[in-house]
C-alpha cells in the first residue's frame, strides 16, 4: 500500500477571521487556552464513556479514560492527550477547519456585530474553543485515531495562518494528542509549575483523571454535593465557567439540597450574557443531569421546561436509577417530577431576588425577558409564576421604570376588575393614539407592551390574579360613563350622525357608535373580533377578499369633539365637504389603530381638503 501524500486544506473564511484576531490581538488572559483544550479532552472522554456502553467494536478498548499533560521546557512544547473518541479524517476537516462544530460559533457571531476595534475585546467574553491554542502556538499538531477500528492514524498540522494539512501518522493510539509548539513569548506554558497552577482552578471539576508529567493533579469533586459554607465565590465562578463553557460571570446562583419530595442536589446559574440574542440560534438546555455524581445527560431536553434552556448548572438526584439511559429518561415520570420541583424552586428564587434587588433584576431582565415571555406562552404549569417576573412600562411609569403584574393589581382603582394594556412599538405611538386618553382621564393605569411577542404573551396568559387582561383597543372595553364634560351632540343628533356615517363609509365600517372613552380625539377604530391584531386582520383580508364584516371596523365617535359636532351640523347643508371629512376621520382612526392598509389613498383627499381650506383664505 502506498502512503498518500499529505493533503492541504484551507480554513473556512470565518475560521480565518477568528484565527486572525486570536493570533494578532494582544491578549492578557492567554492561559484560558488550557481550559479550552482540557474541556475538549474531557468532552471527548465523556463521549467515549457513552460510546463504550453501546459499542462492542472499539479501537484500543482497554485504554483507561484519562487526560495526560506533558511539558517540555527544553523543546518549548506542551502536549495534551486524551483517550477519548478521537477523530476521523472527515471529522478533522469538519471540527477543526470549520466553525460549524466549534465553540467559537458565538465569537464568530459576535464578530459580525462588533464594529472595528471592538474585536479584540470579544476574546475575553467568548470562547474561541480549539482555536485559542493559536494565542500561544507557533504551530499546533493534532495526532489522532478515532474510536472506530477502521479509522486512520492521522496528524493535523497548522500554524493558524490560513491553511492546515492532514497526513498519515502511523502508530497512534485511540484519542487525540495535541502538541503545541509555543511561541517565543509563551514559553511559560512549558513550565510544570505554571501548568499546575492553571489546572488547580478547575481540574477537580473534570470527572476523569488528569496527569501532569505523570502525576495526578485532580481529585474528582462534585462541587454541588458540598455544603455552601465550604465553597468560595471563586470556586463557584470557576465551576460555572468550566462546566458551562461560559466566559461571562453568572448573574444569579441557586445552590440547594433537599430530601423531600425527592433527593435533590442542584447548583444552578443564570448567566449574564444571552447567546441567543447574538443570532446564534436556539441553545441547548444547559442544566446537566447527574445521578450520584455520574453524568446521565449533559443537555437533557425533558428535565426543565424548554424555555429555561438559558439556565446552566447541575441537578443530581440519588433517586434516579443509575442505569437510566438518555433515551429512557426522556419519558421518565421521575425525571419530570425532578425537573418540576427544581423549576418551581428556581421561579420562587427569582421572584425573591427580583424584589430584593430590583436594579440587578432589571439588568438581567433586559437580556433574558424573551425566555420569560416564552415561558408564559408555553409553560402551562408555571404560567402564573413566570408572569410575576415580567416587567412593563405603563401610563403611570416614568423613564425606563417598569412594573410587575402584582404591582399593577396592587394599585388598581377601586371597582376596577380588568388589567388594561396596549401593544404598540413605543410609548409615543401609544400616547399619540386615541386609545389611552379615556383611561388616563379616569386615572386607570394601562400597561404598555412594546414587543410583537407580547401579543402572544397576553393572549396566552388571559388573566392574572383572577383579573382579566384586556387590550384598550378591544371593542369589549367598558370603562363606565363619560369622564369629561363640555358641550356634546344630543342623543338623537349623535344617532343620526352615526347612521349617516355608517352609510357613507359602509365598505370599511361595520358600525358607528358613540364612544365613552374618547377625550381629545374625534374618533377611534376597533376591530369587532376583540383583540384581533393588524397582522391577523390582514391575513383574514387576504383570505376573504373584502366585504367581510370580520375585517371591517367599529368606529367610535366622540360626541364632544368639535369636528364631530360640526360634521353633524354640515352633513346636510354641505354634503360633499362632510363626506370628505368623514372619510378623513375614518382614515385617521385607522392609521392610529395600525389598520390603514393603503395610506396612499389619503394623499388625494388631503389635497382636496387643503384646496378647500386655501380657497377660504
Ligand atoms: P466545542 O468544544 O465547543 O465544540 P471547540 O472549538 O473547542 O468547540 O472544538 C471543536 C470540535 O473539535 C469539537 O466539537 C470536537 O468535535 C472536536 N475536538 C476538539 N478537541 C477534540 C479532542 N480532544 N478529541 C476529539 N474531538 C475533539
Ligand atoms: Mg471546546
Among 118-132, 234-248, 460-474, where is mean pLDDT lowest? 118-132
pLDDT at 364: 97
Q: What is the pTM of this model?
A: 0.83
Count the alpha carbons within 13 Å of 53 in the hemisphere toward its beta carbon: 10
Evaluate: CB of 102 within 6 angstroms of ligand 1: yes
Q: Where in the chain is the domain with CATH 3.30.565.10?
A: 7-216
pLDDT at 36: 92
pLDDT confidence tier of residue 534, bands split at 50, 70 and 90: low
Q: How many other CB atoms are found less than 10 A from the CB of residue 3?
A: 8
Among 120-129, 352-361, 556-565, where is mean pLDDT lowest? 120-129
| Mean pLDDT of all residues in 269-280 | 85
pLDDT at 107: 82
Q: Is the pLDDT of residue 2 over 60?
A: no
Q: How many other CB atoms are found less than 10 A from the CB of residue 298?
A: 20
Q: Is the pLDDT of residue 545 over 60?
A: no
Rounded CA gap, 504 and 264, in Å? 70
Evaluate: CB of 101 within 6 angstroms of ligand 1: yes
CA distances from 319 to 207, 312, 313, 322, 344 (A): 21, 21, 19, 9, 19
Q: Is the pLDDT of residue 548 over 60?
A: no
Q: Where in the chain is the domain with CATH 1.20.120.790?
A: 491-614
Q: Where in the chain is the domain with CATH 3.40.50.11260?
A: 392-472
Taking all residues of the chain, what is their mean pLDDT, rounded to a whole number? 91
- 7-17: per-residue pLDDT in tens? 999 999 999 99
Q: Is the pLDDT of residue 1 over 60?
A: no
Q: What is 491-614's CATH number, 3.40.190.10, 1.20.120.790, 2.60.40.640, 3.40.50.620? A: 1.20.120.790
Give me the CATH topology for the region 7-216: Heat Shock Protein 90 (3.30.565)
CATH node for 392-472: 3.40.50.11260
Evaluate: CB of 41 within 6 angstroms of ligand 1: yes
CATH class for domain 223-354? Answer: alpha beta
| Mean pLDDT of all residues in 394-401 | 95
Atom number in ligand 1 closest to CA 82: 23
| Mean pLDDT of all residues in 363-382 | 96
Strand partners, 21: none
Atom number in ligand 1 closest to CA 36: 7
- 503-523: per-residue pLDDT in tens? 999 988 989 999 888 888 999
Protein residue closest via CA to atom 20 of ligand 1 = 40
| Mean pLDDT of all residues in 240-257 | 93
Q: Which ligand is nearest to the CA of 156?
A: 1
**Residue corresponding to grid cell 350622525:** 497
Evaluate: CB of 87 within 6 angstroms of ligand 1: yes
Q: Is the pLDDT of residue 167 over 70?
A: yes
Q: Where in the chain is the domain with CATH 3.30.230.80?
A: 223-354
Q: Is the pLDDT of residue 385 over 70?
A: yes
Evaluate: CB of 402 within 6 angstroms of ligand 1: no
Compute the distance from residue 601 Cα to the ligand 1 centre, in Å: 60
Evaluate: CB of 47 within 6 angstroms of ligand 1: no
- 87-126: per-residue pLDDT in tens? 999 999 999 999 987 878 888 888 877 766 677 677 767 8
CA distances from 42 to 35, 203, 245, 391 (A): 10, 10, 12, 41
Compute the distance from residue 102 Cα to the ligand 2 centre, in Å: 7
Helix (H) or strand (E) run with residue 353 in it: helix 333-356
Rounded CA gap, 47 and 41, in Å? 10
Evaluate: CB of 83 within 6 angstroms of ligand 1: no
- 406-422: per-residue pLDDT in tens? 999 999 999 999 999 99
Amino acid at each position: 500500500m502506498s502512503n498518500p501524500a499529505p493533503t492541504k486544506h484551507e480554513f473556512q473564511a470565518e475560521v480565518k477571521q477568528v484565527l486572525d484576531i486570536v493570533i494578532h490581538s494582544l491578549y492578557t488572559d492567554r492561559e484560558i487556552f488550557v481550559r479550552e483544550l482540557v474541556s475538549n479532552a474531557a468532552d471527548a472522554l465523556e463521549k467515549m464513556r457513552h460510546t463504550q456502553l453501546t459499542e462492542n467494536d472499539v479501537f484500543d478498548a482497554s485504554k483507561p479514560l484519562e487526560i495526560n499533560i506533558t511539558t517540555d521546557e527544553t523543546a518549548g512544547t506542551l502536549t495534551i492527550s486524551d483517550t477519548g473518541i478521537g477523530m476521523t479524517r472527515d471529522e478533522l476537516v469538519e471540527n477543526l477547519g470549520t466553525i460549524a462544530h466549534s465553540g467559537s460559533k458565538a465569537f464568530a457571531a459576535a464578530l459580525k456585530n462588533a464594529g472595528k476595534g471592538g474585536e479584540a475585546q470579544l476574546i475575553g467574553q467568548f470562547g474561541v474553543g480549539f482555536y485559542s491554542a493559536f494565542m500561544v502556538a507557533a504551530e499546533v499538531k493534532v495526532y489522532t485515531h478515532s474510536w472506530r477500528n477502521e479509522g486512520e492514524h492521522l496528524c493535523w498540522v497548522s500554524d493558524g495562518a490560513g491553511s492546515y494539512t492532514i497526513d498519515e501518522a502511523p502508530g497512534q493510539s485511540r484519542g487525540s494528542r495535541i502538541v503545541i509548539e509555543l511561541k517565543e513569548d509563551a514559553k511559560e506554558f512549558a513550565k510544570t509549575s505554571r501548568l499546575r497552577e492553571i489546572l488547580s482552578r478547575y481540574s477537580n471539576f473534570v470527572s476523569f483523571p488528569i496527569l501532569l508529567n505523570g502525576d495526578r493533579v485532580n481529585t474528582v469533586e462534585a462541587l454541588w454535593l458540598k455544603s455552601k459554607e465550604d465553597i468560595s465565590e471563586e470556586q463557584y465562578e470557576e465551576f460555572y465557567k468550566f462546566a458551562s463553557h461560559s466566559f461571562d460571570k453568572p448573574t444569579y446562583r441557586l445552590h440547594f439540597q433537599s430530601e423531600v419530595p425527592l433527593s435533590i442536589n442542584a447548583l444552578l446559574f443564570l448567566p449574564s450574557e444571552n447567546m441567543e440574542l447574538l443570532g446564534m440560534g436556539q441553545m441547548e438546555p444547559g442544566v446537566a443531569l447527574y445521578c450520584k455524581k455520574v453524568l446521565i445527560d449533559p443537555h437533557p431536553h425533558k428535565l426543565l421546561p424548554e424555555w429555561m434552556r438559558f439556565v446552566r448548572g447541575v441537578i443530581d438526584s440519588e433517586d434516579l436509577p443509575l442505569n437510566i439511559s438518555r433515551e429512557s429518561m426522556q419519558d421518565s415520570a421521575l425525571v419530570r417530577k425532578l425537573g418540576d420541583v427544581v423549576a418551581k424552586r428556581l421561579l420562587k428564587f427569582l421572584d425573591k431576588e427580583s424584589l430584593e434587588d430590583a436594579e440587578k433584576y432589571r439588568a438581567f431582565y433586559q437580556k433574558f425577558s424573551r425566555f420569560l415571555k416564552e415561558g408564559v406562552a408555553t409553560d402551562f404549569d408555571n404560567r402564573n409564576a413566570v408572569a410575576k417576573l415580567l416587567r412593563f412600562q405603563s401610563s403611570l411609569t416614568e423613564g425606563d421604570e417598569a412594573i410587575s403584574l402584582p404591582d399593577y393589581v396592587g394599585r388598581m382603582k377601586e371597582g376596577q376588575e380588568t388589567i388594561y394594556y396596549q401593544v404598540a412599538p413605543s410609548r409615543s405611538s401609544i400616547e399619540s393614539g386615541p386609545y389611552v386618553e379615556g383611561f388616563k382621564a379616569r386615572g386607570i393605569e394601562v400597561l404598555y407592551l412594546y414587543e410583537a411577542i407580547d401579543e402572544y404573551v397576553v393572549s396566552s396568559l388571559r388573566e392574572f390574579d383572577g383579573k382579566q387582561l384586556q387590550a384598550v383597543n378591544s371593542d369589549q372595553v367598558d370603562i363606565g360613563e363619560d369622564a369629561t364634560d363640555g358641550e356634546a351632540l344630543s342623543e338623537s343628533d349623535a344617532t343620526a350622525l352615526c347612521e349617516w356615517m355608517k352609510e357613507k363609509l359602509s365598505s370599511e365600517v361595520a358600525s358607528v357608535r358613540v364612544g365613552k372613552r374618547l377625550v381629545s380625539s374625534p374618533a377611534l377604530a376597533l376591530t369587532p373580533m376583540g383583540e384581533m391584531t393588524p397582522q391577523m386582520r390582514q391575513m383574514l383580508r387576504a383570505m376573504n377578499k373584502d366585504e367581510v364584516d370580520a375585517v371591517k371596523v367599529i368606529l367610535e365617535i366622540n360626541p364632544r369633539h368639535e369636528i364631530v359636532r360640526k360634521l353633524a351640523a354640515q352633513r346636510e347643508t354641505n354634503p360633499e365637504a362632510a363626506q370628505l371629512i368623514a372619510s378623513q376621520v375614518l382614515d385617521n382612526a385607522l392609521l392610529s389603530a395600525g389598520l390603514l392598509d393603503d395610506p396612499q389613498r389619503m394623499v388625494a383627499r388631503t389635497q382636496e381638503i387643503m384646496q378647500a381650506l386655501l380657497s377660504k383664505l
